[in-house]
Structure 1
């Protein structure tokens, strides 16, 4: 049986424990300094505390950044592309104490969300420009006055005074030869020149068998500058006329035609010959051979510039007899212009002694002085 064996073993174990318990206080007191006054053993207890925490590591000093070079002028800032709002991995793994200040500032700048751009201010509407008047139309050539060009091609200033001396009133009779539509004819013509120093009238009339009668008339005022026409008429089978309005600078036509601009000194197709006579009679030395005289000349339905060139004096053989006369020739400006040549006789106050008119189709009329007398 197991009981008798266990009993002695149990008793031995208990005895050993009792001995250990008894001897334990003696081991504890042996380590302390002995107390002679105390013979009794003392029982001492100790509390077991956890070990103290190790001291924190000394903070690592941040590296001192290298000194920056002198600031250079930076170019204009370039707008950077949007950056991610999360910190990069390097910034997360590094503590602020270990991170250089420049790196930390860059990380914070990258982590900050981009600021929205301010909305552009609405443009201020520009004030409309002040209305400007359109430039005036170019001045018509026919508004110019009388122009004199010297033989060397130099025009005299427009305000150069050109004196005039009107010839005495006269009736001139002409023998006429001509051609109309390839039909040659002979006719008679008369030029009646009248004035009283204030008003004038000049009338030219041609009569021809099988051709009929054609009459041109001009009347107006006499001034220090010469003739100032008021009305011109041209009558054959019907009458056409032009009225001069120098205030409005217009010539108006009947039958209806667009008005033509005119300026001071304008003449009509009959008065122009008498105006030339008055200018040459007053100062013949002003008009040497090669000089040119230009007028605005009005017809029955238009106005244009007529230029006459002065030629040498010729001796004409006329029905009246031989007569010296100064030849003037109208210079055509384009094809189709009427050609006109006249000879002005100094002995008659530079009244015309011969007039030859030639049309573009070849028709012509040649008036040669036959007689002259007071009206």
Structure 2
């Protein structure tokens, strides 16, 4: 639609048409009314001049348009003019200055669903699974510690691999030590006496290098062996040591394996004077030979010197957090014809060189004698060999001592005892006819 005050093209055409229609009238007005007579030369000249002026005026009107008084408020042509405007293009928008690259977006915050699962609590110490050639031992259930916080170290007490030369005897089954009724009664009594959890070490053969002092003469070429045998129900083991300057010093013990650890039945100490001990759980007596003396079996049980070492191993293996440095393990220990309470003080952990060049973590326990004539006992238990002794040092009141340091440790499997088959009764012979 045309805007008000604009002069469209059709207005020019209308103006031309109006001029053409008005020219004759204007000519008729301008020319005098005369009779039709042939014009003279002068008259023709005036007519041509007038006509030329009119034509030029019409052309001027067409070119410059009608005056405002003609078109203003004309009934047929409203006062609208056509205005041509120059559109100035907008100045170009300057390019934005170069900006530094945006910083990398921050990493997304992990949602609750993306959080890693809580670290599982370490499981209580367990025995390594038997190899394919080993038969699992039918052990009574051992009470594990629910509050153990650290994972156990890998055990170095493993079966011997490869071929061996020499007459190494295979472990023999352990025959029952007590009659069935007496065995049941003894286990019930032991269960009522003790409540500390225990985990006995696996059966194994250990050899030790021995250095010491005897009558003021030092030696460093001794060898001792620990033959630790059990089938999970009973044990029969010994610690053997012999030296030409000292003689024999052998400890042997047999007894029952229970959830509370070791319950010795018989013990033998073979030195210059042999001594044997018998534990009678039904009568609650400990009987010594020679001398034929006896003592009361204390509540909580008692142990001979050899069984005491393995009992300490079983207690620390089952619950090491119960025995931090500064505490003491208290047990009843048999001596020369009697039994007395003994305390093994737990000291700081100590690394030791053992097993032919390895460094083993150990826990040192010390028993200081409370009676005249008793030896001082120091034992270093190694978690890496299931808390069996890594080192044992026994010091006599006169200063003589023997120190045993483990050089080899090999796990073995003890077969179960099979009772001999009863001979069948001979078939009756039919009487001759």
Spell out, residue by residue over 1:125-156, the C-alpha distance to the aligned partner (whole angstroms, 9 max, x if none): xxxxxxxxxxxxxxxxxxxxxxxxxxxxxxxx
Residues 1:362 and 2:399 aligned together: yes
What is the match of residue 373 of structure 1? 410
- Cα shift readout 1:266-322 (whole Å, capped 9, x = no counterpart): 111000010111111111111111111111111352211110011111101235321
In structure 2, the residue matched to 1:283 is 319
Q: Does residue 222 of structure 2 align to residue 185 of structure 1? A: no
Tell me which of the two structures has the higher relative contact order, counting C-alpha pairs closer than 8 angstroms and 6 or more residues apart. Answer: 2
Per the alignment, residue 130 of structure 2 pairs with: none
Aligned runs of 1:168-317 on 2, under 5 Å?
A: 168-186=202-220, 187-263=222-298, 264-317=300-353
Distance between the aligned counterparts of 2:194 and 2:262, measured in 1? Answer: 17
Question: In the aligned structure 2, how far is the partner of 1:182 from the partner of 1:319?
Answer: 28
Matches for 1:1-375 after TM superposition, within 5 Å:
161-186=195-220, 187-263=222-298, 264-318=300-354, 320-321=356-357, 322-375=359-412
Q: What is the rounded CA distance, in whole Å, between the counterparts of 1:193 and 1:345 in structure 2?
A: 15
SS of the residue corresponding to residue 311 of structure 1 reads strand
| Cα contact 1:337–1:359 (8 A) shared by 2 | yes
**Cα shift at 1:163:** 0.6
Whether contact under 8 Å (2:201, 2:388) holds in the other structure is yes
Q: Normalized against structure 2, the TM-score is what?
A: 0.48
SS in structure 1 of the partner of residue 249 of structure 2? strand
Asked whether the equivalents of residues 241 and 300 of structure 1 are also in contact (C-alpha less than 8 Å), the reply is no
Aligned in 2, Cα 1:215/1:318: closer, same or farther, shift over 3 Å?
same
User: Normalised by the size of structure 1, how large is the TM-score?
Assistant: 0.55
Aligned residues: 218
**Offset of residue 213 of structure 1:** 2.0
Say if 1:366 and 1:207 are closer, same or farther in 2 by CA, change over 3 A. same
Distance apart, 1:159 and its partner CA: 7.5
Change in CA separation of 1:246 and 1:179 when aligned onto 2, cut-off 3 Å: same
1: CA distance between counterparts of 2:368 and 2:271?
Answer: 26
> How many Å separate the matches in 2 of 1:337 and 1:300?
9
Encode CA deviations 1:322-355: one digit per residue, 9 max, x unaligned. Answer: 1110111113224433101110111111111000
| Contact in 2 for aligned 1:232/1:300 (Cα 8 Å) | no
Is the alpha carbon distance of 1:243 and 1:332 closer, same or farther for their aligned partners in structure 2, counting shifts above 3 Å?
same
Greater gyration radius: 1
Which residue does the alignment assign to 1:114? none
- RMSD of aligned C-alpha atoms? 1.8
